[in-house]
């Protein structure tokens, strides 16, 4: 999996491929393998720097390099017994048909253990190793958030929180916390509908998930639906709706006529599945946001939510491959797509209606600057102050930075004259 990502493929695609090839693995083994892949990618900048120092010459075999990176991650960042890690890495060489590299693997890993303090001092001088991010990413955050960039980079390398959204039509947050306590699941409230679980669980093992009592959704993403100011009977569009978290939240809050739009038919199946689990109804449409003529019936919407495709720089800890697959030039391309989507959707919004623009990015080009350019292009728009929908999460100018409780997110509420 690690080798596939470093060759340019997404971690999600590698996971699907791995489980297809190794269908015999049980759930525990899959979880362990996935954890190693995620961990090595979170700290790839540091691990790469360590390996460069430990090797006398570059490795030609990508499998061997990935194996050493995984073993270094275990030695550097986990509680695994060092002797067992070294032994298993050497044995893995044999399983991969790399018997000639067994001595090299043994020497590299033992040298790391022997020279660890000195190696740590050396690689900490390199920013890409200290923060485990590409240099362009570090530089951009430092320029845009001079007082907070280090905290954002460090948050990106932590394990993400697991939040669930309580279906307030069926239970209060306090009632759900009582239920978790009866199941001996430790958790805390976070705002109006969010509950943070102390330890992650598969969705199907979360109490109440199967019966539609809760949905897995980050606390920052749970702010979207309440910000729309929904009233029963409104026509609402959730553009880029898959997998359906915000759409289902809107339907839990009010009886609206909701259209869930996405250009990916396979991902729309997840929307349909979530609606069925929660016993909710919506009009599901497959179409391109940028081409309303292909999906829009001409009836104006009272509310529109555009959770636009973006760099996903605010959720890098959930998708650590993003840090190494994303390129600086991608940001301008995302911004162009976002701009086209905003312009296309604006014509489908009723007078007096509101559009909530959202991204899971922390880069200004996709957020503040995107909104500023939209305001310049359209005279019939007012940017509204965001409503205070959650006392636990503050939104300075619409931008949330990732922290212990939530991901990085951006919101802007726009009203049509």
Active site residues: 360
Taking a C-beta distance cutoff of 8 angstroms, is the pair 375, 383 a contact?
yes
Q: How far is CA 253 from CA 87, 169, 194, 219, 415, in A?
A: 55, 8, 14, 16, 21
Instruction: Please tell me the number of Cα atoms within 13 Å of 341 on its side-chain side.
Output: 30
Q: How far is CA 185 from CA 179, 200, 284, in A?
A: 9, 10, 35
Quote the tokens at residue 407: 């991901």
Sorted by sequence, the CB contacts under 8 Å of residue 175 that are 6+ apart come out as none
Between CA 112 and CA 50 the distance in angstroms is 8
Taking a C-beta distance cutoff of 8 angstroms, is the pair 311, 366 a contact?
yes
CA geometry: angle 309, 314, 315, nearest 5 deg: 85
User: Mind giving me the DSSP string for 124-148?
Assistant: TTSHHHHH-S-HHHHHHHHHH-TTT
Taking a C-beta distance cutoff of 8 angstroms, is the pair 411, 357 a contact?
yes
Quote the tokens at residue 357: 């623009």
Quote the tokens at residue 57: 């010459």
Which of these, 44, 43, 45, 52, lies nearest to 119 by C-alpha position? 52
* Helical pair 149-156 and 135-144, crossing angle rounded to 10 deg: 140
Tracing tokens 């991969």 back to the chain, one arrives at 96
Between CA 160 and CA 333 the distance in angstroms is 27
Which of these, 115, 19, 203, lies nearest to 11 by C-alpha position? 19
């Amino acid at each position: 999996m690690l080798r596939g990502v470093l060759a340019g493929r997404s971690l999600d695609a590698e996971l699907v491929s791995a489980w297809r090839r190794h269908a015999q693995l049980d759930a525990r083994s899959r979880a362990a393998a996935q954890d190693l892949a995620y961990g090595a990618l979170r700290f790839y900048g540091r691990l790469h720097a360590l390996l460069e120092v430990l090797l006398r010459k570059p490795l030609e075999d990508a499998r061997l390099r990935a194996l050493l990176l995984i073993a270094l991650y275990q030695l550097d960042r986990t509680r695994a017994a060092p002797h067992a890690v070294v032994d298993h890495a050497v044995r893995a060489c044999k399983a991969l048909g790399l018997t000639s590299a067994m001595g090299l693997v043994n020497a590299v890993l033992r040298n790391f253990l022997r020279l660890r303090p000195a190696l740590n001092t050396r690689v900490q001088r390199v920013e890409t190793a200290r923060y485990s991010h590409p240099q362009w990413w570090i530089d951009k955050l430092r320029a845009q958030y001079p007082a907070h960039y280090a905290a954002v980079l460090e948050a990106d390398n932590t394990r993400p929180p697991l939040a669930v959204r309580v279906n307030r039509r069926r239970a209060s947050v306090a009632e759900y916390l009582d239920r978790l306590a009866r199941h001996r699941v430790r958790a805390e409230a976070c705002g109006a509908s969010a509950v943070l679980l102390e330890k992650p669980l598969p969705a199907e093992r979360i109490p109440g998930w199967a019966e539609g009592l809760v949905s897995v959704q980050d606390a920052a993403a749970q702010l979207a639906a309440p910000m729309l100011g929904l009233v029963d009977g409104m026509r609402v569009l959730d553009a880029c709706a898959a997998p359906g978290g915000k759409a289902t939240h809107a339907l839990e809050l009010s009886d609206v006529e909701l259209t869930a739009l996405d250009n990916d038919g396979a991902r729309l199946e997840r929307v349909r599945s979530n609606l069925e689990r929660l016993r909710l109804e919506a009009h599901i449409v497959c179409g391109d946001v940028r081409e309303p003529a292909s999906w829009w019936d001409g009836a104006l919407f009272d509310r529109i939510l555009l959770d636009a495709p973006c760099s996903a720089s605010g959720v890098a800890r959930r998708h650590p491959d993003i840090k190494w697959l994303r390129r600086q030039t991608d940001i301008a391309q995302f911004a162009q797509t976002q701009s086209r989507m905003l312009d296309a959707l604006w014509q489908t919004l009723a007078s007096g209606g509101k559009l909530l623009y959202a991204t899971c990015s922390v880069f200004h080009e996709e957020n503040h600057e995107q909104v500023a350019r939209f305001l310049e292009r359209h005279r019939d728009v007012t940017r509204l102050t965001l409503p205070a929908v959650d006392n636990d999460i503050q939104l300075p100018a619409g931008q949330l930075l990732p922290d212990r409780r939530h991901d990085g997110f951006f919101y802007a509420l726009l009203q049509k004259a």
